[in-house]
């Protein structure tokens, strides 16, 4: 056992693999601490304005071994120090998932260690339980059960009632587009490259969020809808360009601030409703869109406005990463929830 890491002998070391969409990622975690977290993003999709599934699978195939190798090296451990391998079983793109699942199965068999299947959406929520040690030995705070988690990514928008590490219930979700798609499709209409969410965030910082009002969907309960907003945004830009072909360039910041404000308000209003209905004021954000500064600020304001205890993950654990797969794997390891070698990925996977 060649290692210079003192955590190795005392702790559970898990190698985690994430390959559900367009990030090839591997991480090593030791209990609830991250030893390494490597992400190889796939630039190839930028040329097409969205993720091309077949290109994603091929890029995963190329990158998986170097990424795992780097994760082990950065963690300072050898593969013989691993206690289990966790991987994303779904939801995601089938061809992309297959690469990670096949790699995890083969590596676990070669090392004769257990396999742990992880639900990608559950992992986004559990990213909140990755612990960091502050100077002086104090640990980063974690949400108390039960809490509400708004999980907002490129493929999903969910309000999750989290009763325990592995006890979660989706109490609201999108009926059509996800919040990330609403950002990315709006960006595409503005001629911005994929993924456009971070660019809208960037331009919105200089703009007036009330410059251009957009309609709010009237969906009962805790569910969301973003397709109507997308259509009205498309028509708004189309009509404005007929009158002035330079409209987007002249008003980019105000347009981005206005669409961002509308998406954030749609999300916030539903989470407020969920908090009122359940009486829960412990509220967390998760998923790629939780990197959005407008959303983060709107949630942080709720501390003063409604006494919420707000949890927002560090940026590196908001967008897709393998550390979150590792922490989910750790909680399953503690319960002895292992997968067999006959496991297959699932493009659609609920919890
Ligand atoms: O969780 P994630 O990395 O991947 C999925 O599981 O889908 O989320 C990706 C989504 C994309 O739609 C991307 O545009 C969005 O998160 N996103 C943002 C920001 N950063 C990432 N959207 C708005 N503002 C951001 N700063
Ligand atoms: Zn994700």
Q: Is the model's pLDDT at 1 over the cut of 50?
A: no
Average pLDDT of the segment spanning 94-122: 98
pLDDT in tens, 81-97: 999 999 999 999 999 99
Local confidence band at 194 (pLDDT 50, 70, 90 cut-offs)? confident
Name which of 267, 261, 310 is nearest 128 in CA terms. Answer: 310
Least confident of 31-35, 54-58, 73-77: 54-58
Average pLDDT over residues 104-110: 98
Q: Left, alpha or beta for 7 (phi > 0: left; psi -120 to 50: alpha)? A: alpha
Closest atom of ligand 1 relative to the 156 alpha carbon:
7
What pLDDT does residue 3 have?
Answer: 46
pLDDT at 49: 73
User: Which residue CA neighbors atom 16 of ligand 1 most closely?
Assistant: 288
Q: Over pLDDT 90: what percentage of the chain?
A: 89
Indicate the SS3 state at residue 140: coil
> Rounded to an integer, what is the distance from CA 90 to the centroid of its chain?
13
- Rounded to whole angstroms, the Cα distance separating 104 from 28 reads 13
Is the per-residue pLDDT at 218 higher than 60? yes
Mean pLDDT of the 269-281 span: 98
Q: What is the mean pLDDT of residues 54-82?
A: 96
What pLDDT was estimated at residue 8? Answer: 47
Helices (H), 225-322: 227-243, 247-278, 293-306
* Ligand 1: nearest atom to the Cα of 120: 6
Give the integer Cα–Cα distance in Å for 106 and 102.
Answer: 6
How confident is the model over 255-271, as a mean pLDDT?
98
Residue 44: pLDDT over 90:
no
How far does the chain reach from its first CA to its final CA, in angstroms? 37
What's the pLDDT at 5?
53
332-351 pLDDT tens trace: 999 999 999 999 999 999 88
231 alpha carbon to ligand 1 midpoint, in Å? 20
**Nearest atom within ligand 1 for CA of residue 287:** 1
Q: What is the pLDDT of residue 22?
A: 87
**How close is the Cα of 243 to the center of ligand 1, in Å?**
32
Find out whether the beta carbon of 318 lies less than 6 Å from any atom of ligand 1: no
Per-residue pLDDT for 309 more than 80?
A: yes
Rounded Cα distance between 111 and 82, Å, is 8
Indicate if ligand 1 lies below 6 Å from the C-beta of 313. Answer: no
- Asked if residue 18 has its Cβ within 6 Å of ligand 1, the reply is no
Q: How far is residue 177's CA from residue 230's CA, in Å, rounded to a whole number?
A: 9
Per-residue pLDDT at 298 exceeds 60 = yes
Token pair recorded at residue 305: 């406005």
Average pLDDT in the 1-5 region?
45
Q: Mutate which of 259, 288, 316 to test ligand 1's pocket (most atoms within 8 Å of Cβ)? A: 288
For 301, phi and psi rounded to 5 degrees? Answer: -60, -30
Q: Ligand 1: which residue has its CA nearest to atom 1?
A: 288
The mean predicted confidence, pLDDT, of the chain is 94
pLDDT confidence of residue 7: 46
Does residue 9 surpass a pLDDT of 60? Answer: no
Residue 42 has pLDDT above 80, yes or no: no
Range 291-295 average pLDDT: 97
The reply to whether ligand 1 has any atom less than 6 angstroms from the CB of 226 is no
Q: What is the mean pLDDT of residues 55-76?
A: 96
| Burial profile 280-292: b = 16 or more Cβ within 10 angstroms, e = fewer | bbbbbbbbbbbbb
Contact 91, 108 (CB under 8 A): no
152 Cβ partners below 8 Å, 6+ apart?
158, 178, 179, 180, 267, 285, 286, 287, 288, 289, 290, 295
**Ligand 1 pocket, mutate which of 19, 90, 180 (most atoms under 8 A from CB):** 180
């Amino acid at each position: 056992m060649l290692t210079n890491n003192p955590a190795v002998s005392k702790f559970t070391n898990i190698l985690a693999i994430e390959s559900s969409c367009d990030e090839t990622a591997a991480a090593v975690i030791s209990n609830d601490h991250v030893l390494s977290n490597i992400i190889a993003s796939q630039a190839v999709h930028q040329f097409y304005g969205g993720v091309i599934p077949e290109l994603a699978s091929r890029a995963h195939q190329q990158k998986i071994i170097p990424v795992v190798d780097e994760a082990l090296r950065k963690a300072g451990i050898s593969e013989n120090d691993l206690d289990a391998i966790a991987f994303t079983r779904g939801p995601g793109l089938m061809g992309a998932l297959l690469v990670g699942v096949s790699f995890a199965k083969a590596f676990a068999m070669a090392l004769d260690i257990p396999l742990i299947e992880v639900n990608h959406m559950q992992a986004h929520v559990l990213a909140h339980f990755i612990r960091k040690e502050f100077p002086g030995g104090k640990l980063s705070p974690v949400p108390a059960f039960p809490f509400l988690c708004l999980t907002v990514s490129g493929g999903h928008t969910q309000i999750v009632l989290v009763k325990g590490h592995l006890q979660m219930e989706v109490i609201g979700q999108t009926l059509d587009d996800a919040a990330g798609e609403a950002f990315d499709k709006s960006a595409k209409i503005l001629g911005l490259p994929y993924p456009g969410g971070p660019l809208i965030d960037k331009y919105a910082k200089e703009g007036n969020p009330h410059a251009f009002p957009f309609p709010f969907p009237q969906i009962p309960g805790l569910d969301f809808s973003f397709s109507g907003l997308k259509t009205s945004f498309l028509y708004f830009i189309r009509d404005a360009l007929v009158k002035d072909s330079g409209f987007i360039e002249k008003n980019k910041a105000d347009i981005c601030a206005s669409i961002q404000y509308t998406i954030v308000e749609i999300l916030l209003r539903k989470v407020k409703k969920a908090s009122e209905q359940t009486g829960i004021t412990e509220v967390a954000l998760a998923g790629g869109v939780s990197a959005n500064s407008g959303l983060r600020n709107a949630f942080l304001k709720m501390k003063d406005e409604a006494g919420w205890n707000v949890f927002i993950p560090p940026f590196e654990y908001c967008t897709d990463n393998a550390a979150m797969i590792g922490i989910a794997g750790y909680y399953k390891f503690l319960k002895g929830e292992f997968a067999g070698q006959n496991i297959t990925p699932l493009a659609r996977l609920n919890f």
